[in-house]
């Protein structure tokens, strides 16, 4: 693979499931040498989550594992054995970053706490990404993405209708946001090692990332000032309209027409109907108070057109309306195809797989997936055989001893 912006940085990824592996994939997307370390035998638990082609469970054909681990080299070892731990420490001695999702007691049990690793590699940056962080009363609790999300009040703030039970969020929101935070600040710590005199521990709580970005940005200030905060409003906005989802001939569109220019643009797109000039519809605040009268009139127009027709017509008239695409429509969308965002990669078990590229463009260097996710233990001989004092015979002995 051609050199990328992070060429020369070496990362050891001991993460499972979502957050830590995706953080490591972000490094790999831009050229870092990422070695994924999986438990011997079973591998990363995401291998069992799927989705699988034909719904047939196969550890080498998990779509989730494939997405999270492209561009990485993969090894297996049993870190609970002395020889396995020695192998892992040998990898970490020359690494720039160690990414994981283990709780504090798991790290201590394996002798992988930051102080222990800093003693063998003072320049190592450890990036810990867990639901509740490495300190505090919840740090050793069992938790997943959805636990972290709901610790933040985001469920009460955003999901569901007023006065009714909150709804569940889409999956892995906290994990993916936490992964981005870990990658950004982990890279900052690597770049800043000389300034601070060595590596450091980047402790990411995915719950705190969501609290800061989702809830805190719009609520903490108001609560601190006068004790009030926003709560979920269901569909649309309380203070302005239209800003909601409308049905159309082949699905749905998201329509936003709050500002005067946007409302006039929507009127042009709809053929300037007389009702849009009525006083109760002339500013977004009055429209919000009259949505029960307004929305059916807009929907009467939208159901006569396809979502693409509505999007194109509204956008050309200055009204930011967007078609709500299905997954298959996105996978084959011409805009994303022209930008090279969708990638087709050949995999030994899955065949040709379409996946997404890097979401951030660096024009001066390549980015995004170029190699498939590794098979279980695919690079054991390559990675372990390159360690000092461990030739091919030594690697074979480790295999026979069921260490790797």
Write the pLDDT tens digit of every residue in 222-231: 777 777 777 7
* Rounded CA separation 54/40 (Å): 27
Q: Which of 328, 361, 380 is the last residue of a domain?
A: 328
60 inside domain: yes
271 inside domain: yes
Asked if 290 and 181 sit in the same domain, the reply is: no
Task: State the pLDDT confidence band at 268, using cuts at 50, 70 and 90.
Answer: very high
* Rounded CA separation 286/273 (Å): 18
Mean pLDDT of 47-58: 94
226 inside domain: no
Task: Dump pLDDT digits (tens) for 362-381.
Answer: 888 878 999 999 999 999 99
Asked if 181 and 273 sit in the same domain, the reply is: no
* Mean of pLDDT over the chain: 93
Mean pLDDT of 276-294: 93
Asked if 196 and 52 sit in the same domain, the reply is: yes
Asked if 185 and 86 sit in the same domain, the reply is: yes
Task: State the pLDDT confidence band at 1, using cuts at 50, 70 and 90.
Answer: very low
Largest alpha-carbon pair distance within the chain? 85
Instruction: Give the pLDDT of residue 13.
Output: 98
Asked if 143 and 99 sit in the same domain, the reply is: yes
Above 90 in pLDDT, residue 344?
yes
Above 60 in pLDDT, residue 201?
yes
By the 8 A CB rule, do 84 and 77 touch?
yes
Asked if 45 and 130 sit in the same domain, the reply is: yes
Asked if 185 and 319 sit in the same domain, the reply is: no
228 inside domain: no
Instruction: Give the pLDDT of residue 216.
Output: 75
Give DSSP secondary structure letters for 258-305. -SHHHHHHHHHHTT--GGGGSGGGSSHHHHHHTHHHHHHHHHHHHTTS
The residues, ordered by sequence, that sit 6+ positions from 261 with a Cβ below 8 Å of its Cβ are 318
Task: Dump pLDDT digits (tens) for 123-152.
Answer: 999 999 999 999 999 999 999 999 999 998
274 inside domain: yes
Instruction: Give the pLDDT of residue 3.
Output: 67
Q: Which domain holds residue 59?
A: 10-213+340-400
Task: Dump pLDDT digits (tens) for 153-197.
Answer: 888 888 888 888 888 888 899 999 999 999 999 999 999 998 888
Using alpha carbons only, what angle is made at residue 19 by residues 15 and 25, rounded to the nearest 5 degrees? 75
Q: Which of 328, 353, 370 is the last residue of a domain?
A: 328
Quote the pTM value: 0.92
Mean pLDDT of 68-97: 97
* Rounded CA separation 259/242 (Å): 10
Instruction: Give the pLDDT of residue 196.
Output: 87
Above 90 in pLDDT, residue 243?
yes
144 inside domain: yes
CATH number, residue 272: 3.30.1540.10
Q: Which of 328, 348, 368 is the last residue of a domain?
A: 328
359 inside domain: yes
Q: Give, as one character, the DSSP assignment of residue 10.
A: E
Above 50 in pLDDT, residue 314?
yes
Asked if 318 and 358 sit in the same domain, the reply is: no
Mean pLDDT of 325-341: 92
Asked if 276 and 347 sit in the same domain, the reply is: no
* Rounded CA separation 3/360 (Å): 17
Total count of domains within the chain = 2
Asked if 252 and 377 sit in the same domain, the reply is: no
Asked if 202 and 273 sit in the same domain, the reply is: no
Instruction: Give the pLDDT of residue 328.
Output: 92
Above 60 in pLDDT, residue 304?
yes
Nearest to 273 by CA among 302, 298, 307, 249: 298
Mean pLDDT of 278-300: 94
By the 8 A CB rule, do 68 and 25 touch?
yes
Asked if 359 and 309 sit in the same domain, the reply is: no
185 inside domain: yes
CATH number, residue 24: 3.40.50.10540
């Amino acid at each position: 693979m051609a050199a990328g912006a992070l060429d020369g940085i070496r990362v050891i990824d001991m993460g499972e499931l979502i957050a830590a592996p995706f953080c490591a994939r972000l490094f790999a997307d831009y050229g870092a040498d990422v070695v994924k370390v999986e438990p011997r035998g079973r591998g990363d638990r995401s291998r069992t989550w799927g989705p699988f082609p034909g719904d047939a469970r196969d550890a080498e054909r998990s779509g989730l594992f494939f997405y999270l681990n492209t561009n990485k080299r993969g090894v297996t070892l049993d870190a609970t054995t002395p020889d396995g731990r020695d192998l892992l420490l040998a990898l970490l001695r020359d690494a720039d970053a160690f990414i994981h999702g283990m709780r504090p007691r798991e790290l201590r049990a394996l002798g992988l706490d930051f102080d222990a690793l800093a003693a063998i590699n003072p320049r190592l940056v450890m990036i810990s990404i867990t639901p509740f962080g490495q300190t505090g009363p919840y740090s050793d609790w069992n938790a997943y993405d959805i636990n972290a999300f709901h610790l933040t009040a985001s469920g009460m703030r955003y999901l569901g209708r007023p006065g009714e039970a909150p709804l569940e969020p889409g999956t892995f929101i906290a994990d993916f946001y936490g992964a981005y935070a870990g990658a950004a600040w982990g890279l900052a710590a690597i770049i800043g090692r000389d300034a601070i005199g060595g590596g450091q521990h980047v402790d990411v709580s995915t719950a705190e990332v969501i609290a800061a970005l989702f809830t805190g940005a719009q609520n903490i200030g108001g609560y601190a000032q006068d004790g009030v905060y926003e709560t979920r409003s269901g569909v649309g906005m309380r203070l302005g309209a239209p800003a909601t989802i409308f049905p159309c001939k082949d699905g749905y569109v998201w329509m936003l027409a709050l500002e005067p220019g946007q409302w006039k643009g929507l009127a042009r797109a709809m053929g300037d109907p007389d009702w849009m000039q009525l006083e109760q519809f002339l500013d977004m605040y009055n429209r919000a108070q009259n949505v029960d009268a307004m929305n059916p009139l807009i929907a009467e127009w939208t159901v006569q057109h396809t979502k693409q027709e509505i999007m194109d017509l509204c956008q050309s008239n200055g009204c930011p309306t967007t078609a709500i695409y299905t997954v298959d429509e996105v996978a084959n969308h011409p805009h994303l195809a022209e930008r090279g965002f969708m990638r087709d990669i050949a995999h030994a078990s899955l065949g040709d797989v379409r996946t997404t590229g890097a979401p951030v463009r660096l024009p001066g260097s390549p980015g995004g997936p170029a190699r498939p996710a590794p098979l279980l233990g695919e690079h054991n001989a390559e990675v372990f055989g390159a360690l000092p004092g461990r030739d091919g015979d030594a690697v074979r002995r480790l295999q026979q001893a069921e260490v790797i």
